Amino acid sequence: MTGLEPFGTRLRRAMDERGPLCVGIDPHASLLAQWGLNDDVAGLERFSRTVVEAMAERVAVLKPQSAFFERFGSRGLAVLEKAVEEARAAGALVVMDAKRGDIGSTMAAYAESFLRKDAPLFSDALTVSPYLGYGSLKPAVDLARESGTGLFVLALTSNPEGGEVQHAVRADGRNVGATMLAHLAAENAGEEPLGSFGAVVGATLGDLSSYDLDMGGPLLAPGIGAQGAAPADLPRVFGKAVRNVVPNVSRGVLRYGPDVVALRDAAERFAEEIRVAVAAG
């Protein structure tokens, strides 16, 4: 397989050139209705095409949530395939938010679905769940290295339920979330300017100074906008790792659709606020 330039290298360049904003493509039923669209495949396609048209030439990262496409079956997946293809062709990096996690050949098949260069849903990176043990991700790690793609591993998520797993303390005294960050630091060791193995860390979590977030890879940070976090919060939450944060905004931008100009303006406002916050941090 002929790999791309490593994902971390491509992401660092995109963040420097376009700003670090990631916009979600989350066509859930309430947003389709807000846009005046039906909750069907036609509405899904119109929504996705509009977001790609508005954002793909401007933001660093687009992050489709695969579940909102999968619920329409094969026709929904066809829409997702087209959205990914068009977004990448326009210069955006695509992070597929599928949160896959399994073992052995099944994990390998999930990885091939999104990280194999000739796969219909080929994306620049994939979100994965390590809670069958970090080692269960090895097939995805190996394929990402081979293909020049990346992973974002769930480490410290913003949902309240996550704490019962991620804050559980191991026999060595370190909690599970910190353990995942340590694994990622090992994956990224020696990689410049940015490693390809990132963590998902919620921007709504407040003071995370007890964690070593500076693990050499990107930090995908959901929670900006509708979930309550603001760009100005980023330095306080992420400390010296703030330059590697990829803040994700979904509803905070998407609620301005279906007007393309309004969507672009909203994204640019967030991007500028993030630039200012990161520079201040």
Catalytic residues: 99
CA gap 104, 135 in Å, rounded:
10
Q: Return the bridge partners of 219, or none.
A: 199, 245
Of 182, 156, 183, 154, which is closest to residue 167 (Cα–Cα)?
Answer: 156
CA gap 236, 209 in Å, rounded:
9
Q: Is 13 in a helix, a strand, or coil?
A: helix
CA gap 281, 279 in Å, rounded:
5
Strands (E), the chain: 22-25, 61-64, 93-100, 125-128, 150-156, 197-201, 219-221, 245-249
Of 94, 93, 95, 64, which is closest to residue 80 (Cα–Cα)?
Answer: 64
The angle formed by the CA atoms of residues 254, 124 and 142, to the nearest 5 degrees, is 140
Of 77, 52, 62, 69, which is closest to residue 18 (Cα–Cα)?
Answer: 62
Sign of the C-alpha dihedral, residues 9, 109, 92, 275? negative
User: In this structure, are residues 59 and 267 in contact, taking their beta carbons and an 8 Å threshold?
Assistant: yes
Q: Is 245 in a helix, a strand, or coil?
A: strand
